Structure 1
Amino acid sequence: MRLSIVTLAFFAIAAPALAGDPQIIGAKDGKDVVTVRVGEASTSKQALPFFPGISGKNAGAKGLSLLKVVIPPGASAQAHVHKGYESAIYLLQGTVETKYGEHLEKSVVNVAGDFIYIPADVPHQPTNLSKTEPAIAIVARNDGEEQEHVILLPKK
C-alpha cells in the first residue's frame, strides 16, 4: 500500500498528540470551542484504564465531564460512589454486570447499546463478564472534576 504525502504529514503531526498527555486545542476561557485529543489511557481511582476527555482540567468545564472507560477482560472496578454527582453511561462494547446498593446486594447486567443511569451517592461496582474482550463505555457526569469526588469503598 502506498501512502501519500498528505497521509504521512498527518501521521507526523498527529503522532505526538496521540502519546502521553492529552492535546488541548482551543482556549479554556469559556469562550472557545475546546478539543481534547487523548492518546494513552490514565488509571482511574477505581483502578480502571480511562481516557479523560472533557473535564475542568482538560477543557475548562465547570459542570460536566465526559470520558471513555475500558474494563479489561474479567476485571472489575473497585467499588465506589460519586459523592454528590450523577452518572450517565453508554456501553459501546461488551457485557458488564454492575453490583450496586448499600452492600452491593443488587445487580444489573448491561450489554452494548445500553444507556445506564447511576444516581448520585449510589455505591456500585462494574465487572466485565467477558474473559477475552474489553468492555468500553462513554461516561458523562455532572461534575467538572470527574475523579475528585470518587469515594472508594473498603475492599471486602
Structure 2
Amino acid sequence: MEEGSKPTCRLLRAEESYDGKQGFRYLAGIARETVGSQGICMHLLTVPPGGRAKAHMHESHETAIYVLSGEVHTWFGDELENVLVARAGDLFYIPAGVPHLPANLSNEPASAVIARTDPNEQESVVLLPHLDARVPAEAPAI
C-alpha cells in the first residue's frame, strides 16, 4: 500500500504466501505490507506433519493464535523448558519477548490463524539458534 494514501477497507484472498524467518511458509494476510495496517498483523499458517519452526521470539509484540485444525506442541520459556499442546478450537497467547518453538508432531497438518500486535509481518522476529537443540527433532508427544 502506498504511503500517505487514505485508509480504507480492504479484502484479501489468501492466495499468496511467503517464507518466514521462523522456517514456516505463511499465507500472506493483513499487514502493513499488504493493506497498510497500523497496529495488527494477521495471517494463516498450515504446519505440515513433522514441521517445526526455528526457536525465536517476537521482540516487541504479542501473538494470539486460534487453532483451526490439528495440534501443535509449543516449547517456550528462556530455555524452552515449558511445553503445551494447542488443539483445534484452542486459543493460545504468547507475550512479547518469550522464546518459543512450535512443532507439529502428528501425522496430520495443523492450521491456525495468527494475529500479532506488530503490523509488520517479520520485523521484530528474533531467531534464537542457540535454543534449537533444546527440542529434539522428534520430540515425544505429551
Instruction: Please indicate, yes or no, whether the TM-score normalized by the shorter chain is above 0.5.
Output: yes
Gap change, CA 1:40 and 1:61, over 3 Å in 2:
closer
Aligned to 2:119: 144
Q: CA deviation at 1:146?
A: 1.9
Q: Which runs of 5+ in 2 are unaligned?
A: 134-142
3-state DSSP of counterpart to 2:33: helix
More helix by proportion, 1 or 2? 1
Instruction: Give the structure 2 partner of residue 57 of structure 1.
Output: 33
Match of 1:41 among 17, 33, 51: 17
Cα contact 2:65–2:114 (8 A) shared by 1: yes
Equivalent residue letter for 1:145: N
In 1, Cα distance between the equivalents of 2:53 and 2:116?
17
| Contact 1:96–1:126 (Cα < 8 Å) also in 2 | yes
**How big is the shift at 1:130?**
1.0
What amino acid is aligned across from residue 61 of structure 2 in structure 1? Answer: Y
Instruction: Give the percent of matched residue pairs that are identical in Structure 1 and Structure 2.
Output: 43
Bigger Rg, which one: 1
The 3-state SS of whatever aligns with 1:91 is strand
Alpha-carbon separation, structure 1, partners of 2:124 and 2:12: 22
Aligned counterparts of 2:49 and 2:40: Cα–Cα separation in 1: 28
Q: Which runs of 5+ in 1 are unaligned?
A: 1-23
What is the correspondence of 1:115-154 to structure 2 with a 5 Å cutoff?
115-131=91-107, 133-154=108-129
Correspondence for 1:111: 87
When normalised by structure 2's length, the TM-score is 0.85
Q: Secondary structure at the match of 2:122?
A: coil
* TM-score, scaled relative to structure 1: 0.78
Are the aligned partners of 2:75 and 2:100 in contact in 1 as well (CA < 8 Å)?
yes
1:30/1:123 CA distance change after superposition, 3 Å = farther
Q: Which residue identity does 1:94 align to in structure 2?
A: G
Match of 1:91 among 50, 60, 67: 67
Show the counterpart of 2:139: none
In 2 relative to 1, CA 118–137 (structure 1 residues): closer, same or farther, beyond 3 Å?
same
Cα distance, 1:82 vs. partner?
A: 0.3
Amino acid at match of 1:120: A
The answer to whether the 8 Å contact 1:81/1:153 transfers is yes
What is the deviation of 1:35? 1.3
Aligned length: 130
CA distance in 2, matches of 1:32, 1:100: 37
